[in-house]
Structure 1
């Protein structure tokens, strides 16, 4: 092979000037492509108002939501009565259980005498009839209100009783962060900054003695003040109540609820009770009692969550299996090189298009209305959608087979069914099985989504937890279970596909 020197190339270029000149597109195509991509992103930024969304987004709320996934709150309320007595109360299902007395809330208590009006006594039987019916209440016409003599004096006499009340409380919200609560004042301290709030129960106002820092907010003068203490929680100060929301990392009472006999015990104490301790319930062993308390934990509902997760797995498997069984024979009718009837080919392919053109979520809504909420609706949605998708993929695979193998089987006089069995199936069966396995893995995730619209499984449980807007740790628990299942099924599916296709990963 001879090579041309520079003078020969120049001579050719002189005779044919257009041969060695590149077009404008060839010379600048990289710049054109880069400019087009840049223009597209600029258009998308403007069209979807991404800058405005990012600017107006409340990132602090987003951070709080993320923190709720891995933490929980203890929510004591400190009420302030008109006479200055304070009372600390906890919600009914508080993570600390009954008789909560955390070390981060220090309360000063005193025994005081409190005066209250005694309930009105019924008139005596000896009172004159006229006196008994002299006046009536507008709200209860049948109830006489007129009282005379000794009865009226007894009703009007106040009742004096001794009570132990809280006169001062200090809440530790973290290192260098405290809330000091008194009947007429609340002092908030965070990282060296101090906010003093005067409480006026008569006027129902909260007044700051100085300008509030950026971590405290008051919408209007005299209104409540909300102070954020970062990841450790927040406080809401009203004129007659202070709401504490202290955050702790972890999932509260994950194994044993406050009603369990094992609540509040360390892992060592629980193990000791299970194996060597005396029976806490005469009717069953401690091991059985502990397992029962875990499964039926009302806060986490482990048994119900696991059952719903199993429903999701079965729903995905059955739906995909039935779709594969129906799509397999229909794909042979849709393939033009297998079943040479153009009208039948088009009818089957359009049927596949009809099934897969509607999203699985829409089919789930339809079948939920038809069959009612439950796994049957979910299985039907998966089956119906994947029949169309798998059928199309199977038909395209059949149309792209090597006809030489089929012609070879046909040349020896084999029957049509034998031609398909030995000339077609060996080429496409590994691909069919690989695609079915992939859809089974994918449907495990999809079954969670369609479950949220009433099609059963863990999706509905997940949606219920999200709607409360407070049980985000339960949401994180279910998401983690779904991730584990998807990872396991992905590994199984990849291993099976590798064996079927004869490849190693």
Structure 2
């Protein structure tokens, strides 16, 4: 195609320059505005104060505790006794003839080999800690506190020498503490202690092959039940991990999400017909139905759960109601928009066959909105599985409540990790199931 250069408008150089300059200013001004906003939020949100108060060593301890456990070697000076226990618990105390191979106890004295050259010797009220590349630390417990003798030179950061308490942690997996009442050595090991069976269980310490052979054996440990039943019972009733209660709480969380989502879909679809312009001619009915949707979804799910907890008390029912109320507004709005976008020719075709109004909805409308209906309901079901955990933490029950209880003490952080991992697994399974259902119901695959 030929270009008519004779009749083409002649651009003023000044106009072109002003346009280029304006675009150049925008290119510079936009990053500057974003930078100024980030600087404002940095100080208005108190990020410097937050970083100043941060305790990275505390985070390191919690991270270590979530994947490892420690064995305490403790000498109680007032009673003049020596104890070796997992996590320092009385119900997980080793017998004198079953001590770990890295601990040697001689009466009320002990020698502890912490590995890689680290060793501790406890004699009477004196603790000697041999640290590679630093030297021998000698601490004596007195009636008023502790007396410390350190190698010459600067005091390392991992050592806290206080007249009331001595605390040394040269590595994350080794720690020694001395007060006037006790001497304590911590040795960390990877994994979760007593995960399968409690320390007192007669199945504790058995390997998988031993358990399998025991399950197939005709000789019963407990005459009242089979060995397989005993293994299952000992696992579920483990007092340290409470597997049975955790699984019940997970089931409650799933049921909470399922009941709430299905209830919202059950009420949201008929209300969507009242809010759709092409199905309800009354503007008043449409207005109040849409405002109902705004009211239900305008109040956050957590607020609804607090309201229902005050009304009905603690329990999964309050969580299911909170999910149902919030999602009725959200799904109702989505369904009404889907109804307004249907193809009326399909409805007219069904009408031409002499179908009544219910049949027109069934064969002319529902098939068109079914993909949206199924995909949105399944998506909300998957999302509500996560939301039910948060709602449960407020008191609605389920796995969320157990998660908060384990986090309050900051002692059994491995239990917190266990619950978090199970929650993630449930969300992944729900995602896979919802994806499979979408493919089956929508695509027919």
Settle same-fold status: TM greater than 0.5. Answer: yes
Q: Secondary structure at the match of 1:378?
A: helix
Name the CA distance, whole Å, in 2 between partners of 1:270 and 1:413.
Answer: 69
> Which residue in 2 is equivalent to 1:275?
216
- Contact in 2 for aligned 1:378/1:447 (Cα 8 Å): yes
User: Aligned pair 1:239/2:180, yes or no?
Assistant: yes
Name the CA distance, whole Å, in 2 between partners of 1:178 and 1:344.
Answer: 80
User: Aligned pair 1:306/2:247, yes or no?
Assistant: yes
Q: Structure 1 pair 491/28, CA: closer, same or farther in 2 (3 Å)?
A: farther
Q: Secondary structure at the match of 1:22?
A: helix
Deviation at 1:467, TM superposition (A): 1.8
Deviation at 1:322, TM superposition (A): 0.9
> Which residue in 2 is equivalent to 1:13?
10
Structure 1 residue corresponding to 2:127, chosen from 186, 189, 214: 186
Q: Which stretch shifts more, 360-369 or 385-394?
A: 360-369
Deviation at 1:487, TM superposition (A): 0.7
Q: Which stretch shifts more, 429-438 or 276-285?
A: 276-285
Q: Structure 1 pair 400/15, CA: closer, same or farther in 2 (3 Å)?
A: same
Q: Secondary structure at the match of 1:248?
A: strand
Q: Structure 1 pair 497/276, CA: closer, same or farther in 2 (3 Å)?
A: closer
> Which residue in 1 is equivalent to 2:437?
496
User: Aligned pair 1:217/2:214, yes or no?
Assistant: no
Deviation at 1:21, TM superposition (A): 6.5
> Under a length normalisation based on structure 1, what TM-score does the superposition of the two structures give?
0.79
Q: Structure 1 pair 76/456, CA: closer, same or farther in 2 (3 Å)?
A: same
Name the CA distance, whole Å, in 1 between partners of 2:387 and 2:38.
Answer: 30
For structure 1, which runs of at least 5 residues remain unmatched after alignment? 110-164
> Which residue in 2 is equivalent to 1:31?
28
Name the CA distance, whole Å, in 1 between partners of 2:377 and 2:56.
Answer: 42
Deviation at 1:65, TM superposition (A): 0.7
Query: Alpha-carbon deviations, 1:417-459, whole Å to 9, x = none?
Result: 4443444323222101110010011111111111112212111
Deviation at 1:287, TM superposition (A): 2.1
Q: Structure 1 pair 373/233, CA: closer, same or farther in 2 (3 Å)?
A: farther
> Which residue in 2 is equivalent to 1:426?
367
Q: Which stretch shifts more, 396-405 or 225-234?
A: 396-405
> Which residue in 2 is equivalent to 1:174?
115
- C-alpha RMSD of the superposition: 2.8
> Which residue in 2 is equivalent to 1:259?
200
Q: Secondary structure at the match of 1:75?
A: strand
User: Aligned pair 1:87/2:30, yes or no?
Assistant: no
Structure 2 residue corresponding to 1:322, chosen from 259, 263, 279: 263
> Which residue in 2 is equivalent to 1:487?
428
Q: Higher Cα Rg: structure 1 or 2?
A: 1
Name the CA distance, whole Å, in 1 between partners of 2:246 and 2:395.
Answer: 15
Q: Structure 1 pair 267/496, CA: closer, same or farther in 2 (3 Å)?
A: closer
Deviation at 1:205, TM superposition (A): 3.1
Structure 1 residue corresponding to 2:285, chosen from 344, 356, 372: 344
> Which residue in 1 is equivalent to 2:2?
2
Query: Alpha-carbon deviations, 1:257-297, whole Å to 9, x = none?
Result: 12221112333333333323732222222222122111211
Deviation at 1:23, TM superposition (A): 5.4
Name the CA distance, whole Å, in 2 between partners of 1:478 and 1:284.
Answer: 30
Structure with more helix by fraction: 2
Q: Structure 1 pair 39/406, CA: closer, same or farther in 2 (3 Å)?
A: farther
> Which residue in 2 is equivalent to 1:61?
58
Q: Structure 1 pair 14/36, CA: closer, same or farther in 2 (3 Å)?
A: closer
